[in-house]
Structure 1
Amino acid sequence: MRFAAIGLDHRHIYHMVGGLLEAGAICAGFDPRTSDARVLDGFRERFPDLLPVDGERLIDDPTIDLIVCAAIPSERAALAVKAMRAGKDVMVDKPGVTSFAQLAEVEAAVKETGRIFSVCFSERFTVPATLVAGKLIADGAIGRVVQTIGLGPHRLNRAIRPSWFFDTAYFGGILTDIASHQIDQFLHFTGSRDAEIVASGVGHFGVPDLPDFEDFGEILLRSSQAGGYIRVDWFTADGLPTWGDGRLTILGTEGTIELRKYVDIAGRPGTDHLFLVDGKGTRHIDASGEPLTYFRNLVADIAKRTESAVAQDHVFTVCRLALEAQAKAARLPAGNQDSRL
């Protein structure tokens, strides 16, 4: 399988390209156009053997099967539609779309062309602990799942962010963007095909010179199977040795699973810590060695026209629910901005 990278605007392009290369795919080139030269520099450093090629040539190349894209979020849908109409499957970084109109356009293009539109929900697809959790749930380790609590804190790293990062018109809002990860995980781990956004909210509590930037968001959602709560934010302190203490708690009728994906604070070293509580006691599982499956399954799906990596309906449902949560979100009051009071 041959693929090309177009849209080097977010650093997530690194693990998207790296994952495909590890899965045995061949990169036919990358479009060097970017809104952030630092991302391009990092890409060249990680993949020095890959060649720059104009994006139009890559889309027109009949030997390329897949376009991988981490462009400015508001530009991903149009590029995906163009690639699909040129006979290419597409994998984009989250959020796959930033508006209902874009979602409708992508859905129409998939129906029209029969191509794959996949969103790389990296907080599940590139985290070994989530795969181990899925196996435990499938084996009945915690009974029936009745609730998830997904936490997605991030470090702002303001100095390295391009200007579009702070403009909702470009990234779609904090719930459209970050919370798509937690919506994906809620649907997956509860076995839900769809859900209702019961309530949602967004707020700005941080840096005073960015009053319109959403740095906090939350969602309460419910399906016919289970309920869920999501919290996302940009308040990870510099003292944490990684970009965010991402956690997922899965409540079952016979036990619980908690994932501490990227760090066990003041505890065990490394990533992918899984804590299981069941009728026999408590235990910690080091899930870091679990092989990832998304990229190799996507490569197989492109050849066989299957949906083993992620179902197309699931991708569209996550996108729609994230947009609905953003659209109905209440603006949370900032209160007193002086942290000394």
Structure 2
Amino acid sequence: MADTQVLRLAIVGAAHPHVSYVLDELAHRTDVALVAVSDPDPDLAAKHAAPHGAEAYREHRRLLAAHRPDIVAVCGIYGDRAGAIVDSLDAGAHVLADKPLCTSLAELAEIEAAAARASRTVSLLLEKRHYPETLAARALLADGALGDLVQIASTGPHKLNRPSRPPWFLRRATYGGIIGDLAVHDIDLVLLLTGAREGAVSAHTDRADPEFARYGAVLLTAGAATATVEVNWLTPAASPWHGDYRMRLTGTRGAAELCWAQGRLTAVTDDRAPFEVPLPPARRPAADALAALVEGRSPEVDTAASITASRVALLAQESADTGGSVRRWSADVSPAD
């Protein structure tokens, strides 16, 4: 895979619209070709395969055996993802996965073990890392403008649009939980921005409907920093945004607020009054991961980052399911621990 050959890409599961992150990238690359798509819904598989002259399958193991893809993108029903990822790794493919990576800690251990024995990469498509506001905030922190980061407060409201949601999305067994689905983005950013490798996490979620929680909140310690993450499916229907996502960063020398939906980053420091921070261009969600795999390097969201963000989110979901108990987390846990 180190030469200039065209790498074979397959889609295993296309139930979530985020499959477009990977498919849209094909227009920017001549060194990656879509060879096959699988999904239990044959019409959905055909829909994504046909424009690229790819083959469509219902069953992903048949696809893997027939095509031996170099890269597999997993964007299917959440509860099905772990099996698809492990099978893809065992078939020798690198994996790009929509979030959540899986829906249980036991599944996560299986994925980590499979990645290790296959010596392949698992990269989670965490698009909030690549937004202009996030890139600019990372630069502020890297320059020391805010001092040491000590507190983070993030909110992630979403519109549910219930009539358009498929039945699997509203069932706990196939959805997995609101923390793993929504809060994992902000958990990942907390880990990225703090550089922390251990801490503790607890969470609470809505208990009105055991099948589908409408809201949840996470309390996360990451090294010396403390973070709160609030997520919900309660954005009013008349809102101009699907979600007015925000994050406030508090440092020892300044503070900043990311307003992703509004395309703004504001900051204030000890020696500078409030100001608008210029924003760089956005990065496409799957651009770095695909480029890295083509070039034979590790993507920014590598296996370790993907596993750790998923582990913390799943521990938080487990905390919520058990009344808010505190769970320790570490980036150095292995499947055998």
Identify whether the pair has TM-score above 0.5, normalized to the shorter chain: yes
Letter in 2 for 1:75: D
2-structure distance, mates of 1:11, 1:149: 28
Pairing of 1:194-213 with structure 2 (within 5 A): 194-197=198-201, 199-204=202-207, 212-213=211-212
Aligned residue number for residue 66 of structure 1: 71
Percent of aligned positions that are identical: 31
Deviation at residue 16 of structure 1 after TM alignment: 3.0
1:273 aligns with 2:273: no
SS at match of 1:328: helix
Aligned residue number for residue 218 of structure 1: 217
1:145 to 142, 149, 155: 149
TM normalised by structure 1 equals: 0.83
Aligned residue number for residue 172 of structure 2: 168
Aligned residue number for residue 53 of structure 1: 56
Aligned residue number for residue 13 of structure 1: 19
Contact 1:23–1:299 under 8 Å retained in 2: no
Aligned residue number for residue 335 of structure 2: none
Letter in 1 for 2:151: Q
Deviation at residue 36 of structure 1 after TM alignment: 10
Aligned residue number for residue 159 of structure 2: 155
Deviation at residue 211 of structure 1 after TM alignment: 5.8
Contact 2:171–2:212 under 8 Å retained in 1: yes
Deviation at residue 180 of structure 1 after TM alignment: 0.8
Aligned residue number for residue 195 of structure 2: 191
1:328 aligns with 2:333: no
1:4 aligns with 2:10: yes
1:93 to 80, 83, 98: 98
Distance 1:212 1:84, change over 3 A: closer
1:112 to 111, 114, 117: 117
My pick for the range that moved more, 89-98 or 132-141, is: 132-141
Letter in 2 for 1:175: I
Deviation at residue 315 of structure 1 after TM alignment: 1.4
Aligned residue number for residue 313 of structure 1: 304
Deviation at residue 291 of structure 1 after TM alignment: 4.0
1-structure distance, mates of 2:253, 2:46: 49
Deviation at residue 64 of structure 1 after TM alignment: 3.0
What is the alpha-carbon root mean square deviation over aligned residues? Answer: 2.6
1:130 aligns with 2:129: no
Contact 2:25–2:286 under 8 Å retained in 1: yes
Aligned residue number for residue 78 of structure 1: 83
1:179 to 180, 183, 189: 183
Contact 2:235–2:243 under 8 Å retained in 1: yes
Count of residues paired in the alignment: 314
Pairing of 1:15-34 with structure 2 (within 5 A): 15-19=21-25, 21-22=27-28, 25-31=31-37, 33-34=39-40
Query: Unaligned regions of 5+ residues in structure 1, if any?
Result: 264-271, 333-341
Query: Unaligned regions of 5+ residues in structure 2, if any?
Result: 1-6, 324-337
